[in-house]
Structure 1
Amino acid sequence: MATFVLIHGGGSSGWEYHLLEAELRALGHDVVAPDLPIEDGANGVAEYADAVVAAIGPREDLVVVGHSFGGLVAPLVCDRRPSRLLVLLAAMIPRPGEPASDWWANTGHESEVDMEADPIGAFLHDVPRELAEEALAKGRPHEGDSLGKPWPLAAWPAVPTRVLACRDDRFFPLEFARRVSRERLGIEPDVIGGSHCVSLSRPKELAARLDAYLTAEQQPAG
């Protein structure tokens, strides 16, 4: 058994993982899925990591999963707490010293759809309509006054890292995700079907993939 630490994306909450959490618990794992304190503009990624570490408490055997904006927070958690694995799920991948506000231009990000005009089309197009509307209703304001601060780590944490991109992601299109992962981490990402919010559209499949990552890390080399 491991403890999966699920870090949500921008403007969201731990609720986005409620289906995935049930699937991971059914596989015998513990789950921590805290709400990041995104509504206070004085907070940035370091303070978000503080909140995650506090939620973890004394738990060990950590698998840290960062989704979307959570990809900026997850490595900070791994730097502070011993972790078995770091998984970047449809995630922003930072560079040392790079402010979150600069990530979009630095990576040449272009979405396939207008996320403000059509948020369901951008993030949730394969999620059942009622669930997608509930997800939008549960969104929270993400204040960004501190997001111009440099990303605080000088180097990537010394933890095995996997990148998992979503084949049908319209917000972080697959080829974009592949390019950023290769350029920034030298990692060829794995691919799962589904939209940007794959934890809502394919929770059982995603849980199985995360569990398989953990099993692979436990196998002896050679």
Structure 2
Amino acid sequence: MTTFVLLHGGGMGGWTWKYVRDLLEAGGHKVHTPTFTGFGERAHLIGRDVGNATHVRDIVNVFRFEDLRDVVLVAHSYSGTVAPGVLAEVGDRVTRVIYLDAIVPHSGERTGSLMGYVPEDQLAGLDAMLEAGDGPIGSGVDEMQRAAAREHPHLMSAERQAWLLTNLTDQPMRATSSLIPVGAEKITQPVDYIAAADTVMGQMHERARALGWPVHDHPGDHALLVGDPEGTVALILEIAGGR
């Protein structure tokens, strides 16, 4: 039996792991799927002050209050920016890390600029504005994902895509603009990277290889955890079994 903590992507929530969680629990594993402040069922807590530091604290507190140890930490998409900060605080409780088509940040970067969405100088100015209590609360990532899916549908059934898109919520703007103080280069635990074939994360795959992480290819798209939970679980268990 393995204890998994599964971290979700932008615009999503712990709910997005539903199919993966069901399969892992059916196999006798213990699974935690926390939701970051301002996302999913915690969307009512969105605010200008909610960013990387808040989300790191969300997960560190799960580890502490649930007394989690000997954990395999899995980070999808946006949560790749959160995982290094979590590991800096409770890394002694984590035995292995899996990045699931996730962002691979370097210390001092910002999600919006490293993904090429907003120039660094503009993003830094926006972050200062948010810190002062002004500016947009949300980033509109949920509507961006819905628009992208209309142009390029996900590799899953229409019913499952509808479930995914309907449940998306906005992402706090500060999660996009704030500095990421602890980058992936600081992780000392073993890390494996699962790379989707149809994704905007190609640059992140190269960053993973540059860090010397083993990279495992998956034929799906960025929402592989919803579109192919069986294949995703098979890869996660193969990697976790290699401890």
The TM tier, using the shorter chain, reads 0.7 to 0.9
Task: Tell me the residue number matched to 2:109.
Answer: 98
Q: Could you tell me whether the CA contact under 8 Å between 2:17 and 2:226 is conserved in 1? A: yes
Q: Could you tell me whether the CA contact under 8 Å between 2:51 and 2:172 is conserved in 1? A: no
Task: Tell me the residue number matched to 1:140.
Answer: 169
Supply the AA of the counterpart residue of 2:75: G
Deviates more, 1:22-31 or 1:37-46: 37-46
Describe the shift of the 1:19–1:116 C-alpha distance in structure 2 as closer, same or farther (beyond 3 A): closer
Task: Tell me the residue number matched to 2:6.
Answer: 6
Percentage of pairs with the same residue: 24
Task: Tell me the residue number matched to 1:70.
Answer: 79
| Structure 2: distance between partners of 1:99 and 1:193 | 28
Supply the AA of the counterpart residue of 1:207: V
| Structure 2: distance between partners of 1:132 and 1:195 | 12
1:159 to 178, 186, 189: 189
| Structure 2: distance between partners of 1:134 and 1:146 | 24
Q: Residue deviations 1:159-195, cap 9 Å, x none?
A: 111111012x23334xx44323234x23352111211
Task: Tell me the residue number matched to 1:109.
Answer: none
Q: Could you tell me whether the CA contact under 8 Å between 1:115 and 1:121 is conserved in 2? A: no
| Structure 1: distance between partners of 2:164 and 2:5 | 20
Dislocated runs of 4+, deviation >6 Å: none
| Structure 1: distance between partners of 2:179 and 2:159 | 38
| Structure 2: distance between partners of 1:103 and 1:165 | 18
**Count of aligned pairs between the two proteins:** 206
| Structure 2: distance between partners of 1:119 and 1:7 | 22
| Structure 1: distance between partners of 2:175 and 2:17 | 26
Q: Secondary structure at the match of 1:59?
A: coil
Considering fraction of residues, name the structure with more helix: 2
2:222 matches 1:215: no
Q: Secondary structure at the match of 1:105?
A: coil
| Structure 1: distance between partners of 2:34 and 2:111 | 20
Supply the AA of the counterpart residue of 2:230: K
Describe the shift of the 1:2–1:105 C-alpha distance in structure 2 as closer, same or farther (beyond 3 A): same
2:75 matches 1:48: no
Q: Residue deviations 1:65-84, cap 9 Å, x none?
A: 11010111122222222201
| Structure 2: distance between partners of 1:63 and 1:146 | 24
2:119 matches 1:119: no
Describe the shift of the 1:149–1:177 C-alpha distance in structure 2 as closer, same or farther (beyond 3 A): closer
Superposition TM-score, scaled by structure 2 size: 0.77
Superposition TM-score, scaled by structure 1 size: 0.84
| Structure 2: distance between partners of 1:146 and 1:134 | 24
